[in-house]
A and B are shown apart, each in its own frame.
Chain A
Amino acid sequence: MARHRKPSERDASLAKCQTGISGLDDITEGGLPRGRPTLVCGAAGSGKTLLALEFLVRGITQYQEPGVFLSFEETAEELASNVASLGFQLPVLVQQGQLTLDYVRVERSEIEETGEYDLEGLFVRLGAAIDGIKAKRVVLDTIEALFAGLPNEAILRSELRRLFRWLKDKQVTAIITGEQGEGHLTRHGLEEYISDCVIVLDHRVQNQVATRRLRIVKYRGSKHGTNEYPALIDEHGLSVLPISSLGLTYPVSTDRISTGIPRLDAMLGGKGYYRGSSIFVSGTAGTGKTSLATAFLDRVCRQGGRALYCSFEESPAQIIRNMRSIGYDLDKWRKAGRLQFHSARPSLYGLEMHLASLHKLVHEFKPLAVALDPITNMMSIGESAEVKAMLTRLIDFLKNQGITSLFTSLTGGGHDLEQGEVGISSLMDTWLMVRMLETNGERNRLLYVLKSRGMAHSNQVREFLLTDGGIQLRDVYVGPGAVLTGSARLTQEARDKADGLAEQVGAARRERELVQEHASLNAQAAALLARAGRIKEELQTSRQQARRRGEAASADQGALARARQAD
């Protein structure tokens, strides 16, 4: 009755059968062992049935391999309606002769047992179903129901052993699901019979947040990923995320990308961040971390790129409103399709789910830059080590994609600002710190570059101002005595200005006096010259008069002499 395939096909000992489930084929390095049964076990609600069903549906739609689903728990109608929301149209596949759904119901109360029996009835049913559509994939979900329905466990066990042997002879790739048991992988020890490949699904709740995980316990004759991989079920079915396998092999870029704040660009070697690097902005509450993130994303959008803003505290509308007050119109970019918001409370789902949804968003939206604001909120749903692991994977992932990422982090008051973030900051390429300085009854923001790998960066502390026209960085006042910020800086600057002004006024007055003196001296000189001229004129006149008088006198004497007829 078993229809054997060609021997050549059977000899391929490591032939694999692709599941089509995203990620699962990566960690199994090609899929499940072809022609052999695989055990999928896990607690109730861990996604066993879904995994099995998706294996069949993807087998049909992607690999043209018909499948049989033998259910011991749910009817065909229930199954179909359960997965309809995932876009799996089981009735259509059944109609096309690609899929057979068979519900095996074993009701303990209806059954009386007398004497010897075997499970040939089940074999016949399964065999007929397999042969009917030439199925290559089979799912038994979950065969352990037989233990509840049939009283004689000894017969059942020997028959199950025969069944799995028989499935191998039929050369079908099978998934057998099993409920998790105490101290065993499955309640009835199915792992004893199915030992080629065992996958464990887990749905754990930690800090009230549930996370799905998948692990390959064994895979005979094949290399496979051994970690617990996060898995999730969304509208496209199950996905496993083999993220931690990325490693440190990402490409790096020497391109630079502006921070959106010219003065900050100047502090970072004059050009801004490296493209594809990770930037960490930390600071206490209200220091302007969100504004820094906004300035950066706004700049990216302004240059025609796409940006993703993941906020874990504020709604998009609130961010848009708040950022408008300092001159950034994010709504414009959102409407233009360049900016996408992803707002979710951290506690909405587990870390892995956050990671997964970010993966999906990034794959779909393909942004140039991503901001996560703030990542410290993640601490509320995971242990610090887990959060770090998640961020490591996220950074690895983003770096691999060449996406520049900006993370903000809220530092709690009272902590050592630089110490508190050591765990995460070592992953980051550029670390900006904003802090408040309280002096003279006011608080002022200061910004400085704590580190920036691979570029010359300023060691100066700048005063960080949020104005109607955006973010501005100012030099702090470094005078004789102290570093001054805020109104103290302004006062000092004003005082300096007043001093300068006074000096200017004095100089002008002195100049004016000199000019006047010069002018008066000139006038005096002119008067004296005029007087000298007059005197000279007078002198000449008097000389002429004297000569004319002499001539006249001698003429008169001559005339007198002539009149006297003097001799």
Chain B
Amino acid sequence: MTTTKISPRPLKTAPAKARRTPTTWDLRLYVAGKTPRAIQAFANLTRICEEHLAGKYRLEVIDLLKSPQLAKGDQIVAVPTLVRKLPEPVRKIIGDLSNTEKVLVGLDLRLRS
């Protein structure tokens, strides 16, 4: 499970209707080995993306055990960490992403209540 690219559908140009829905969402999920937590985080993430960002996102899963040097670039300390590279600003969500509401807030897909 090294750098796995998941972009099942061709990227569509999004209609410029909303401020928080730019063309492409570039997401990276950092994990350290195939731990149950990592698997759960991955499952949670793909579910949320399919629901809210279908066709507009690119997800890369990085296993730090296989490529530890990549931890430096995105300043990864905790795992799992989801990094939203694009759109800017960079956001990080740590944990197994089990709280969908918090993930959406963290990704700026929903306003903080």
Contacts and interface: CB of A to CB of B under 8 A. Distances in A.
Contacts of B32: 120-121, 123-124
A106 B77 contact: yes
A92 B32 CA distance: 32
B61 to A, nearest CB: 14
A283 interface: no
Nearest to A128: B68
Instruction: Give the interface SS of chain A, mostly helix, strand, loop or mixed.
Output: mixed
A419 interface: no
Contacts of B79: 117-121, 124
A118 B65 CA distance: 14
A122 B72 CA distance: 9
Contacts of A114: 93-99, 102-103, 106
Interface string A16-54: 000000000000000000000000000000000000000
Interface in B75-97: 75-81, 89-97
B76 A121 contact: yes
Contacts of A469: none
Given A106-B75, A124-B32, A125-B71, A111 B80 contact: no
Contacts of B95: 113-117
Contacts of B72: 102, 125
B65 A124 contact: yes
Contacts of B77: 104, 106, 119, 121-122, 125, 146, 149-150
A111 B71 contact: no
Given A124-B65, A128-B68, A112 B80 contact: no
Contacts of A115: 41, 95-99
Given A121-B64, A121-B81, A113 B69 contact: no
A128 B98 CA distance: 29
B78 A117 contact: yes
Contacts, number: 100
A189 B102 CA distance: 30
A276 interface: no
A367 interface: no
Contacts of B78: 117-122, 150
B43 to A, nearest CB: 12
A364 interface: no
| Size bracket of the A interface | 20 to 34
Interface in A63-108: 102, 104-107
B94 A112 contact: yes
Contacts of A288: none
B39 interface: no
A523 B9 CA distance: 162
Interface string A475-493: 0000000000000000000
Task: Choose among B68, B69, B79, B93 the residue with the greatest number of A CB atoms under 10 Å from its CB.
Answer: B68
Nearest to A111: B92
Nearest to A1: B65
A128 B70 CA distance: 11
The 9 closest A-B pairs by CB, nearest first: A112-B106, A128-B68, A115-B95, A115-B96, A115-B98, A120-B32, A121-B76, A114-B102, A114-B99
Interface of A: 1, 102, 104-107, 110-125, 127-128, 146, 149-150
20 contacts: A105-B75, A107-B75, A107-B92, A110-B90, A110-B91, A111-B92, A112-B102, A112-B105, A113-B102, A114-B95, A114-B103, A117-B37, A117-B81, A117-B95, A118-B37, A118-B78, A120-B33, A120-B79, A121-B81, A124-B64
Interface of B: 30, 32-33, 37, 41, 64-65, 68-69, 71-72, 75-81, 89-99, 102-103, 105-106
Given A106-B77, A110-B90, A119-B78, 9 more contacts: A114-B93, A114-B94, A114-B97, A114-B99, A120-B79, A121-B71, A125-B68, A125-B71, A127-B68
